[in-house]
Structure 1
Amino acid sequence: MIKITIETEVEAPLSDAWDAWVTPDDITSWNFAIEDWCCPSAEIDLEVGGKFNYWMEAKDGSIGFNYEGEFISIHPHRTIHYKLDDNREVKVEFIETESGTKVIETFDAEDENSAEQQRQGWLGILNNFKKHVEAKSS
C-alpha cells in the first residue's frame, strides 16, 4: 500500500496544536479541505480502542460523509495512530520546534483518487489546521 506523508510547521505551542487536534469544537473549525466544505460535527473518544466520527459535507448540503475510525495508539503530545473504517492507517506526529510545532501526517492511500489528489486534499485540511491553531494562539 502506498503511504503519503505531509507536514506543516504551526507557529504555536505544542499543547495548543495537540488540543486543537483532539477537541471537537476545534475539529469542526478546521477539518475540511476547501472552503466549499465544512465539518458540522465531531465526536472523539481519545483512548486506545476509542472511536472518532467527523461528519464532513459540502456547505450546500449536496454531499457528505463520515470520516471515522478507531485509535490504535496514543502518546499524548507526541503521536496519534488510528485506523479508518476502511482499514487504512494514519499516524500523526507532533514535534516541538524552536518556532512552534511540526505536525507530520502519514496515511495509507486509497484507490479511488490519485496519490497527488489525496496529498493535496489532506494538505488542504492540514493547512486549515495550521491557520486555526495560529489564529487561536495569537
Structure 2
Amino acid sequence: MRIVVETIVAAPIADVWRAYTTPDDIKQWNAASDDWHTTAATVDLRAGGAFSSRMEAKDGSMGFDFAGTYTRVEAQRLLEYSFGDRTAQVAFTPEAGGVKVQVSFDSEDTHSVEQQRGGWQAILDNFKRYVETKRAR
C-alpha cells in the first residue's frame, strides 16, 4: 500500500530543496516528536548516492538508522529513493504562496497505516515549521 503525506511550505523552492537535502538542516527538523532527534545525517545527492539519518530518543533509550539509496534526483523537483525493500518519492511543486512537498512511500507491516501516516506527517510538519522559522529570521 502507498501512503501519501503533504504540506505547503511558505518559502522559495531553493530554500525548501536545500533544507530537505542538506545534512545540517536535516538534523534540525527530522523527528516525529519532541522526544526524538536526528544526531547525524549524510547525503550523497545523486542517483545511486546513499543517504542516512541517525534517529535517537533524547533519553538514550533507543535509536535507529533510516538509510537508503537515491534512485532519481531532479533538483528542486523530485527525489526518489529506496530503503530496504521499500520506495519513496518526494515531489516539490511551486504553488501560490510556497512549495507543496508531497511524500509518498510504501507502507510496512509492523505499524498500522494510521501510525505510519501520522509519523511521516509529523516529520513533514516539523520540516515546514523549520523552513518557515529559518526564513523569518
- Partner of 1:7, secondary structure, is strand
2:128 matched to which residue of 1? 130
- Displacement over 4 Å in runs of 4+: none
TM-score normalised by structure 1 residue count = 0.97
Residues 12-31 of structure 1: pairs in structure 2 closer than 5 A: 12-31=11-30
Whole-Å Cα distance in 1 between the matches of residues 135 and 88 of structure 2?
26
Give ranges in structure 1 of 5+ residues lacking alignment.
Answer: none
Whole-Å Cα distance in 1 between the matches of residues 97 and 86 of structure 2?
32
Whole-Å Cα distance in 2 between the matches of residues 52 and 87 of structure 1?
15
2:117 matched to which residue of 1? 119
1:61 matched to which residue of 2? 60
> Aligned pair count?
136
1:108 aligns with 2:106: yes
TM-score normalised by structure 2 residue count = 0.98
2:33 matched to which residue of 1? 34
Whole-Å Cα distance in 2 between the matches of residues 94 and 125 of structure 1?
16
2:7 matched to which residue of 1? 8
Give the superposition deviation at 1:6: 0.6
Q: Which amino acid aligns with 2:25?
A: D
2:78 matched to which residue of 1? 79
Give ranges in structure 2 of 5+ residues lacking alignment.
Answer: none
Q: Could you give the per-residue CA deviations for residues 1-41 of structure 1, whole angstroms, max 9, x where no partner exists?
A: x0000100001111110000000000000001000000011
Q: CA RMSD in A?
A: 0.5
Give the superposition deviation at 1:87: 1.6
Give the superposition deviation at 1:98: 1.1
Q: Which amino acid aligns with 1:26?
A: D
1:50 aligns with 2:82: no
Q: Which amino acid aligns with 1:33?
A: A
Whole-Å Cα distance in 2 between the matches of residues 43 and 77 of structure 1?
19
